[in-house]
Structure 1
Amino acid sequence: MLVTAAWYRKYEHASRVGLWSACVGIANIIGGAIAYGCVAGLEVHPNMQFTSWKILALCTGLISVVYGVCMFFFLADSVVTARWLSNEDRTLAVERLRSNHQGVGSTQYKTYQLREAWLKYRTWTYVLFVLVTQIPSAGLVLLNSILVKSLGFDTKTTLLLSMPGGLVNIMANFGFGLLADRTHKRLLACIIATLVSIFGAALFIGLGNVSPLHARIGQLVGYFLMSGTSSTAWFLIISLMSSNVLGYTKKTSSNAIVFTAQGLAYFVGPLCFTDGPYYHKAKIMTLAMWIGALLLLATMWVLNWQENSRRDSEMTEKGVSEHAASELAFHDLTDKENKGFRYVT
């Protein structure tokens, strides 16, 4: 969230976050293939000292450690500190970000911004949204193999069946992110993505209610749609926070609050999936919470639209030019102080 806001204009945030989050789908595809290979290898060599899940953890974990070290040395904090940019390119990059009204490179800690992050009602709409969307998603992600296996597939087939969901994830995260930036309607893209999740959940639940194994291919399609898009709206909300939360201290504080809520959601989520092996109650809970998420998204849109309209009216009454307002862009101001700023809707 912080890196995206520091490098890209606000109507590039959704497509960039969509690209980053689409890598989750790539991980599902590659991870499914690796997991299948580990299980198959263990069958051929049953006397191995390492179990298949330990081999998977070592392969992916060691790559992550190496990549993390590279990020530490080579990822620049912002365009201001990028060593590989010339002075001219750095100046152009800074000017390019002026319309964000977010400032560039300031890391000064400001207590009043911390207080504003905790007291701002928008922070708590984000928190509530992450809870109602990610509690079900946590159960779907962490119990993925169990849910698919409950449709009557063996272990190795179940691992391979994580791959189509990864493809749906890639298409949804990047596609809806691109749609949001092209149309400048980010919350509308969130609403459409959530509707796809609800459709997938309704298909999965409806067919499963006939009988646990009824039309299991149809149930799989519903499950792929549901699981593949379950976090798409959340990733778009992350990009919305990148665009709509101003001030370095306020942005980092809001980030900490919201991602703590996500950790809570991932703790609670699996605890809601206790009525195995078919999880009828958990599925209904998922559907109900995602419908609640739709109402929250509509509320966010109304609040942002009303605030933008109010600021437009104030600027018109005071005769403040757009150029004068844009000069505020390099000050570390919050959205409350920066009258030239408009919320992305």
Structure 2
Amino acid sequence: MSDIKKPETATPVLSEGAEVTEIRDIGAGLYAEANQLSPEELEREKTRVRKILDWRVMPMVYVTYVIQFLDKLSVNYASAYSFIPDLGLQGQRYSWVAATFNFGYLFWALPASLLIQRLPIAKYLGGMILLWGALLVAHVGAKNYAGILVLRFLLGMAEAGVSPCIMNITSMFYSRNEQPLRMATWLSANGMATMVGSLLGFGLGHSHNTALHSWQLIFLTIGLLNVVCGCVFLWLMPDSPSSAKFLTHKQRIVAVQRVADNMIGVKTKQIKLHQALEVLYDVHVLCCAGMAVSCGIINGGVSNFASSLIKGYGFSGIYATLLQLPTGAFEAVIVPICGIIATYVPNSRCLVLTGVCLIPFGGLLGIRFTGLEHRWTLVGCTWLQYIVGAPVIICWNVLATNVAGHTKRSFANGLWFTLYASGNVAGANIFFAREAPRYYSALTGLLVCYAGMIVLALVAYVWMWVENARRDKAIGYDRGSWRRGADPQAVLDGFKDMTDKESKHFRYGL
């Protein structure tokens, strides 16, 4: 088998001639300088740079995700107190308040993805953090149904770019092998947010003789936290590896060289229409889009109605808030475990996604068929629903690592989050007030969503495996050669802003 060609390990060179004119990636210049460093020096610096990024980028991303998920849960915690009667939100009105956030998210998801491609990403995200902090503080002054609807819609718009921003930041600073664990780590911040929010809601529920109601104090406290975090984020977070002030020039070169094997470059601001159209007939993108709808329905239902479910089992409002504390621990532990498996077991992302869906699926069956006299069993099954963060983050990682071409990535992300927001709208409205406290229609819908995610994950896995094999055969590479690193030509194609379909040297990560 000595005649089988294998990818070279040397760093490909970006020429100074006509080829450079077609390369507009902001990291291309630094990548070209990587040839000035010896392989030994690169390896030594790569480890050092990764540790610096883990200490400087990841904490900011983690805290940002904690506070943004607190925002989403704020209505859920407020509903445990006098929020619903004070604003006249009885019946389906509360469902529409929960859904309106997602209408705003849906309205701005695609524009946000395009703005992320065009604007400095850290400055855009920092500005949004400040904006949604101000909007949360404004919730304190809401007096009626119409007022809270407007505020929730605007809050949804402000938060539409958060997850796409953080996905792009992760892709710019980390290699595709490092991404599953890092993405799982910052998404596990949802679990931390749930625990912090439960304790916060429980503590503020004991406030008496104040000018503000408990639900108003919840919005005020979370809003002010956002404002502080937004200021810190704008001060510390770089827009890309090439502008990271906490790295030396050599370390910036290494930071760009580290992510070159992702085969997607760093960032290109040019919008290309043909890349946007490619999203519409890419099988694995469409599978991820289908999973986005399912994830949204599940998240929209669980995040807004956990308090209602637990209260329906026979617990008082203040304890319904406190009993959501363990759900955060479930998510904070299980999501990183899934990230570790996806990181250290090659080509396991889709299979991990399939397996982790079975846990909350079993929990839903428990809620559906267990009687109210077994209320602690019902609470335990409800806790399992917060594991939805694991399939969400793995689906994001499948999308982030397997879509090349920056316009295509922007539209694929925009499509994902648009459908995710649509699912959240539907999820908040399949819990019919007339079916309380069991919500049988909603439980059936969530079971169908998990079953659909399992099927779509397996379809995406098979399609990408077959496509990789077809490309290997066409070019003459053996399958094992790809485990030793990306083809140098695929790296150059990434800096040229070629899509995964256009670059025949691109390989999908399963």
What TM-score does the superposition give when structure 1 sets the normalisation length? Answer: 0.92
What does residue 336 of structure 2 align with? 174
Q: Secondary structure at the match of 1:11?
A: coil
Q: Distance in 2 between matches of 1:309 and 1:72?
A: 44
Q: Whole-Å Cα distance in 1 between the matches of residues 402 and 350 of structure 2?
A: 12
Query: Displacement of 1:265 after TM fit?
Result: 1.2
* Unpaired segments ≥5 residues, structure 1: none
Offset at 1:109? 2.1
Shift of 1:63: 1.1
**Is the CA contact (8 Å cut-off) linking 1:101 and 1:340 kept in structure 2?**
no
Could you tell me how far apart the structure 2 residues matched to 1:68 and 1:305 are?
42
Contact persistence 2:185–2:335 (CA under 8 A): yes
- Counterparts of 2:477 and 2:379 in 1: how far apart (Å)? 57
Deviation at 1:182, TM superposition (A): 1.0
Query: What is aligned with 2:226?
Result: 64
- The residue identity in structure 1 corresponding to 2:362 is F
> Is 2:461 aligned against 1:295?
no
CA contact (8 A) 1:76 1:82 kept: yes
- The equivalent residue for 2:351 is 188
Displacement after TM superposition at 1:215 (Å): 1.9
Given that residues 284 and 464 in structure 2 are in contact (C-alpha distance below 8 angstroms), is that contact kept between their aligned partners in structure 1? Answer: no
Q: What is the aligned partner in structure 2 of residue 107 from structure 1?
A: 269
Q: Deviations over 1:290-332 (max 9, x none)?
A: 11211111111111111111111112079x9944444434221
Which residue, out of 431, 436, 449, partners 1:276? 436
Alpha-carbon distance, 1:162 to partner: 0.8
Residue ranges of structure 2 left out of the alignment (5+ in a row): 1-166
How far apart, CA to CA, are the structure 1 residues paired with 2:489 and 2:448? 47
Task: Quote the Cα distance in structure 2 between the aligned partners of 1:114 and 1:6.
Answer: 20
Task: Show the counterpart of 1:133.
Answer: 295
Aligned to 1:203: 366
**Structure 1 pair 108–73 and aligned structure 2 pair: CA distance change class (3 A):** farther
Structure 1 letter corresponding to 2:361:
I
Residue in 2 aligned with 1:35?
201
Q: Distance in 2 between matches of 1:304 and 1:310?
A: 10
CA distance in 1, matches of 2:489, 2:184: 33
| Cα contact 1:13–1:242 (8 A) shared by 2 | no
Give deviations 1:161-206, integer Å, cap 9, x for gaps: 1100000011121111111111121111111110111122122222
Deviations 1:77-135 (A, max 9, x none): 22122122111111111111121111123222222212223443433222211112321
Match of 2:120 in 1: none
> Structure 1 residues 295-304 or 119-128, which shifts more?
119-128
Distance in 2, matches of 1:37 and 1:103, equals 47
The reply on whether 1:306 has 2:469 as its aligned counterpart is no
Task: Among all aligned residue pairs of Structure 1 and Structure 2, give the percentage whose two residues are the same amino acid.
Answer: 26
| 2:473 partner amino acid | S
- What's the counterpart of residue 344 of structure 1? 509
RMSD of aligned Cα (Å):
2.0
Which one of the candidate residues 238, 250, 254 is aligned to 1:92?
A: 254
What TM-score comes out, normalization by structure 2 length?
0.63
Kept in 2: contact 1:101–1:338 (CA 8 A): no
1:237 aligns with 2:395: yes
Deviation (angstroms), 1:70: 2.7
Amino acid at match of 2:457: L
In structure 1, the residue matched to 2:244 is 82
Amino acid in structure 1 at the alignment position of 2:493: L
Aligned residues: 336
Q: 1:155 aligns with which of 317, 323, 330?
A: 317
2:16 is aligned to none
Three-state SS of the structure 2 residue aligned to 1:114 is helix
Hey, what does 1:331 align to over in structure 2? 496
